[in-house]
Structure 1
Amino acid sequence: MADIVRATAADVPALAAVLASAYAEDPVWSWLMPRDRDRRLRLLFTAHLAQQVPAGRVWTDPERTVAAVWAEPGAWKLPATYLLRNAGPLLRATRAQLQRTAGRLFTMEHRHPAGPEHWYVEYIGTRADARGTGRGARVLGGLLARADADGRPVFLESSNRRNLTFYQRHGFAVHEEMAFRSGPPMWSMWRRDERGAEPGSGR
């Protein structure tokens, strides 16, 4: 875990900028925010990180060029109070695309598997000028080592086809290519637990 550190409240502005940079060309976020994307993503991620940091769910590298939001088993679902607290930033960030954004978020929550109990990679991104340095891989690897020690699988959704090979190198496999009524597809992925069992297989 030496390559990763738990983020603090002071890190929120820098890490919101990291995620905005990482998702700037993402197909789903480009569809949700066709204009003024960097500013609007910063608004959204600032509000989200500010709520997740106190829970200890935001991780980064010593240089603050990678941001990861990582939920422990049973804690992936956002409470209703989260939406109430973030209503203002969500409105300012999504503007005319509020209905589209809320629809995609609610659909993803509905499709999220109830079991088996799992760790959840909600977001992970590397600042554009630090890509290719291996820092994102080190942060993800440090988090996955924690899951291995716990003996439970890890779940994520990828919104960019180009990132699938990155996750596959870390032991993830595509579970489903998810199509929607509108907008780009996404991919759900599972990483087996330390016994090598497929999630939900009972083996």
Structure 2
Amino acid sequence: MADIVRAAASDVPALASVLASAYAEDPVWSWLMPHDRDRRLRLLFTAHLAQQIPAGRVWTDPDRTVAAVWAEPGKWKLPLSYLLRNAGTLLWAGRSQLPRTGMRLLALEHRHPAEPAHWYVEYIGTHADARGTGRGSQVLGGLLEQADADGRPVFLESSNRRNLTFYQRHGFTVQEEMTFRAGPPMWSMWRWDADR
């Protein structure tokens, strides 16, 4: 895991920018935030990263061009205290689309598997300027080494069909194309330990 590092509090602005860039053209985020997306994504990711970094759940590359939020088994669910602390940010970033955003998040939480115990890739993104350099693969690969050493599977939801082949190259398989009452589909994906 020499190619990846745990993010520090000082990395929040840079990594919020990375994730905002990575999700700028994402179909789900485009639907959730049709206007002023870059600023609103930066706001959301700044608040989220500030909460996740102290727990050791944010990883990056040495140049801070990739950001990954990675939850250990049993720690993927956001506690009510998180939502309360970030209510103002969620209201401001969600604005008129807040009900839509809330419904999508609740639907995803409801569909998130409880078993088996698994690692969870909540977000991973590469800044647009660094796409195609292999840095995203290095960060994800380092995290997957952790999961393999632990012997547990890895779960994620992809919000962009174009990213499915990237995840498949890393051993993930699509479990389900998730459709919702409104908005674009998403895909749930699993990766099992290579030795299984």
> TM-score of the superposition, structure 2-length normalised?
0.99
Quote the offset at 1:195 in angstroms.
Answer: 3.1
1:114 is aligned to 2:114: yes
Aligned to 2:175: 175
Matches within 5 A, 1:49-198: 49-196=49-196
Cα distance between partner residues in 2 of 1:148 and 1:193: 5
Aligned to 2:29: 29
Cα distance between partner residues in 2 of 1:51 and 1:40: 17
Cα distance between partner residues in 2 of 1:130 and 1:89: 28
User: Per-residue CA shift, 1:128-166, capped at 9, x if unaligned?
Assistant: 000000000000000000000000000000000000000
Q: Structure 1: which 5+ runs fail to align?
A: 197-203
Tell me if the contact between 1:22 and 1:128 (Cα under 8 Å) persists in the aligned partners. Answer: yes
* SS of equivalent residue, structure 1 residue 81: helix
Counterpart residue type for residue 23 of structure 2: Y
Cα distance between partner residues in 1 of 2:143 and 2:192: 14
Tell me if the contact between 1:152 and 1:194 (Cα under 8 Å) persists in the aligned partners. Answer: no
Cα distance between partner residues in 1 of 2:136 and 2:193: 21
Question: How many equivalent residue pairs?
Answer: 196
Counterpart residue type for residue 42 of structure 2: R
Cα distance between partner residues in 2 of 1:46 and 1:106: 21
Q: Structure 2: which 5+ runs fail to align?
A: none
Counterpart residue type for residue 6 of structure 1: R
1:13 is aligned to 2:7: no
Query: What root-mean-square deviation, in Å, do the aligned CA atoms of Structure 1 and Structure 2 show?
Result: 0.5
Cα distance between partner residues in 2 of 1:156 and 1:37: 23
* SS of equivalent residue, structure 2 residue 122: strand
* SS of equivalent residue, structure 1 residue 54: helix
Aligned to 1:201: none
User: Per-residue CA shift, 1:107-133, capped at 9, x if unaligned?
Assistant: 100100000000000000000000000
Q: Once the two structures are aligned, what percentage of the paired residues are identical?
A: 83
* SS of equivalent residue, structure 1 residue 116: coil
Counterpart residue type for residue 120 of structure 2: Y
> TM-score of the superposition, structure 1-length normalised?
0.96
Counterpart residue type for residue 153 of structure 2: P
Tell me if the contact between 1:174 and 1:189 (Cα under 8 Å) persists in the aligned partners. Answer: yes
Cα distance between partner residues in 2 of 1:139 and 1:193: 17
User: Per-residue CA shift, 1:67-122, capped at 9, x if unaligned?
Assistant: 00000000000000000001011111010000000000011001000000000000
1:42 is aligned to 2:38: no
Cα distance between partner residues in 2 of 1:82 and 1:120: 18
Counterpart residue type for residue 69 of structure 1: V
Quote the offset at 1:193 in angstroms.
Answer: 1.9
Cα distance between partner residues in 1 of 2:57 and 2:85: 18
